[in-house]
Structure 1
Amino acid sequence: MPGGRLSHQDRLDIAAGLADGFGYAEIARQLQRPTSTISREVNRNGGAGGYRADHAHYATASRARRRQPDASRTASTSRPSDPRAAYVERFAEMMVDGGLPRMASRVLALLYTSDSRTLTAADLVRELRVSPASISKAIGYLERVGMVHREPDPERRLQHYVIAEDVWLKAWEISARTNFNWAETAAEGVDLVGRDTPAGERLTQMAEFFQRLSEDMSGGAGFHDCLSVLAVLWKAERHLSPDELATALGWPVERVTDAVDYAVKAAASGAAGE
């Protein structure tokens, strides 16, 4: 029952939801449970990539038996849950909803919220409680899309993983590229079934929608330059002159001023449209 202990059937439903790619929040809604309950259950039993319902049910029962001799202890001796770890999971869930793979999202969220500038694979395995293979696969994806890069340890045979400075620009580009792929795939479907068929009409609408969305997000060179300037300003956390921006970006000053003009015109256009 909602609010009580998870049953074996609940755990089977959680495993099925993970296999279907559902997030913790969606699984929680289906089971009428708090999202934190689902997150804690999965992370305690192998993570999203290694969760097994039968193993989780057995392990939970085993832990309960081991705790029975200490049942006389007061509730005040129990350790509270880690709010930072819970925040990392919520942060990751947001990125999953935005289209990033789940484990890549968890790795990126942990890197972004860590006090340390870099984390090793061992750090990620320990903090996320998943297998080294899961971390390797997630890091491989993040490196391919340019959101994370690695730095060798000068003293030990270790690799340190670092978030790219333009990580959110990369995320935007991935989203724009995804929309373009949707448009291309829909257009191929139109050629296959014919524009005048019911399926062709639906696919045509889909292709046109995602094509417009991709074009709006891509925005051309001026748009990308504008984002790059904003990224430098955000990192600097202070006003920078055009010369300082040009030095930081390695651009001619004229390119910086063109990007700023683009931003001003875009803002004015948006204000006029309201």
Structure 2
Amino acid sequence: MSPERRYAEEAGVLMAGLGLPPAAGKLFGWLMICEPAAQTSGQLVEQLGLSKGSVSTNMRLLENVGMVRRVPAPGRRGHAYQVAPDTMMRVAADPTQFRRFRELMDRGVTLAGGEDASRADRLRVTRDFYAFLERELPKLVARFRSEYPSKGENDD
């Protein structure tokens, strides 16, 4: 097994620990290190030994959460997949996911009897944590971007 393939396998294990399917982690890991940066489904099947169905399903999942994007496949019909250099920053800076969790916890607090209800403790703490993330992560990403030296990479 090549070092690149081993890296993809390691990413699959790590991301499975975060609740993603191992195949999604392998695909993401591969797209972080592969050359060329854009890979077609066929290339991903060949390089990672995954089925076409697994590649299709997991690329759709990664695309839906904003971790990969479709790009034209140079010299071919169809598309390829790619990870932008700033993918994780864009995902982290999007307050939508945190707002949804905060709103869900808010509804739970109401359901549990309100702010002062003892069974709402877990919900309040979790809600407040997501409110904190919703408020602070975009600021941290902006700070990182302002401090990170630009190397002329295409971050689109």
State the TM bucket, normalised to the shorter chain: 0.7 to 0.9
Cα distance change on mapping 1:146 and 1:202 into 2, 3 Å: closer
Alignment counterpart, residue 81 of structure 2, candidates 161, 181, 185: 161
Alignment counterpart, residue 137 of structure 2, candidates 211, 217, 234: 217
Query: Residue 66 of structure 2: SS of its match in structure 1?
Result: coil
Name structure 2 gaps, 5 residues minimum. none
Which residue type is aligned with residue 140 of structure 1?
Answer: R
1:1-274 alignment, distance < 5 Å: 81-98=1-18, 100-173=20-93, 177-195=96-114, 196-219=116-139, 223-229=140-146, 233=150, 235-236=151-152
CA distances 1:215-261 after superposition (whole Å, capped 9, x unpaired): 22132xxx55444445661x448xxxxxxxxxx89xxxxxxxxxxxx
**Contact 1:147–1:166 (Cα < 8 Å) also in 2:** no
CA distances 1:9-65 after superposition (whole Å, capped 9, x unpaired): xxxxxxxxxxxxxxxxxxxxxxxxxxxxxxxxxxxxxxxxxxxxxxxxxxxxxxxxx
Instruction: Select the structure that is richer in helix.
Output: 1
- What RMSD, in angstroms, separates the aligned Cα atoms of the two structures? 3.0
Bigger relative CO (Cα 8 Å, ≥ 6 apart): 2
Once residues 186 and 92 of structure 1 are traced to their aligned partners in structure 2, the CA distance between those partners, rounded to angstroms, is 30
Query: Residue 76 of structure 2: SS of its match in structure 1?
Result: coil
Name structure 1 gaps, 5 residues minimum. 1-80, 238-247, 250-274
> How many percent of aligned residue pairs carry the same amino acid?
27
Between 1:224-233 and 1:205-214, the stretch displaced more is: 224-233
**Contact 1:151–1:162 (Cα < 8 Å) also in 2:** yes
TM-score of the aligned structures, taking structure 1 as reference length:
0.47
TM-fit CA distance, 1:194: 0.7
TM-score of the aligned structures, taking structure 2 as reference length:
0.76
